[in-house]
Amino acid sequence: MGSHGGGGCDQHAHRAVVDRFLPRPHDRDHGDGTALHRRRSGGGSSMSRLTIEDLSVEVAATRSSILRGVDLEIEPGEIVGLVGESGSGKSMTSLATMGILPFGLRQTSGRFLVDGEDVTDQKRRSVSSRFAMIFQNPRDSLNPLMKVGEQVARMVQLHQRLGRAESRAEAVRLLGRVHIIAPDETARKYPHQLSGGMCQRVMVAMALACKPSLLIADEPTTALDVTVQAQILDLIIELTDETRCGVLLVTHDLGVVAETCDRVNVLYRGDLVESGTTARVFADPQHEYTRYLLDAGRQLEAADGAA
């Protein structure tokens, strides 16, 4: 399943490897060589480790497999990438973890463990208090008829058991925490009055209101321009380091993995074909499909550079 990259990984080596194998056109100055100035506290976390064992999903009507025996582990304070092309099963993995598979799909095997405790049977009852999810298009997830501050406040009320006035105040505080300027004013706006990047920050604030042990970010930057992508990724990294919440980052973009993730898992047609630290997988890919993805990424970067 790959070694845990949270404590002892050499961040300078990580940055050197990913820059060598997949440079980004929007790279910033990394100073001491750490990947996006990651801070590793090295322990003392009260957050939980999530282990997924033998997760399989199929189409109920045809019994066609979508996922086959997927194993994942996310440690507290760790960002773990899940990559693959469209249709590989990335989003189905995250939806199965949240217990919200679309109609017509069913989970045929799999165990979910939190700090070694099997929570599979209770998963759908308790998942909302343990896990939070950020989706690709925040406008599809936000209620267009409700002010964003009220939406965050409702999450606070649900998960923190605060009164109405306290929840509204906490909602404004959370909007400020995700670096929204003038959070009081923003709280009184509707989603259509905000940019895509601002809406995604609101979604991050709503996730924080849950105080999750695990944050699943499913293609959280795909619909955003490059500059805003970098800001959202920086925000996720910052909050991961601050809260020690584990993150499963679902993406098709290896550049995002290079910038962000401690470890990476590669999905191909429903099978987990490679896992390891980001530095190791980028420097020494073992599976043919991983090599294909890396080669394709380099070609895209070269084309962007020549344009």
Q: Average pLDDT over the chain, rounded to whole?
A: 84
Q: Could you give all domains of the chain from N- to C-terminal order, each with its CATH number?
A: 50-305 (3.40.50.300)
Cα 180 from Cα 76, distance rounded (Å): 26
pLDDT digits (tens, 9 = 90+) for 205-229: 999 998 888 999 999 988 788 888 8
* pLDDT the model gives residue 26: 45
The Cα-based distances of 60 to 55, 65, 69, 99, 102 in angstroms read 15, 9, 17, 16, 11
Structure tokens at 75: 């440690």
Residue 131, strand partner residues? 214
Q: Evaluate if residue 5 carries a pLDDT over 80.
A: no
pLDDT digits (tens, 9 = 90+) for 95-132: 999 889 999 999 999 999 888 888 887 755 555 567 89
Q: How confident is the model at residue 28 (pLDDT cuts 50, 70, 90)?
A: very low
Q: Where does the chain have alpha helices with state H?
A: 11-21, 90-98, 123-130, 138-141, 148-160, 164-177, 183-187, 196-209, 226-243, 254-260, 278-283, 288-306
pLDDT digits (tens, 9 = 90+) for 149-200: 999 999 999 888 889 999 999 999 999 999 999 999 999 999 999 999 999 9
pTM: 0.83
Q: What is the mean pLDDT of residues 58-82?
A: 96
Nearest to 175 by CA among 187, 163, 159: 187
| Edge-first strand listing for the sheet containing 117-118 | 65-74, 50-59, 105-114, 117-118
Cα 249 from Cα 93, distance rounded (Å): 11
Q: How confident is the model at residue 23 (pLDDT cuts 50, 70, 90)?
A: very low
Q: Evaluate if residue 24 carries a pLDDT over 60.
A: no
Q: What is the mean pLDDT of residues 6-26?
A: 44
* pLDDT the model gives residue 303: 67
Nearest to 202 by CA among 218, 234, 224, 180: 180
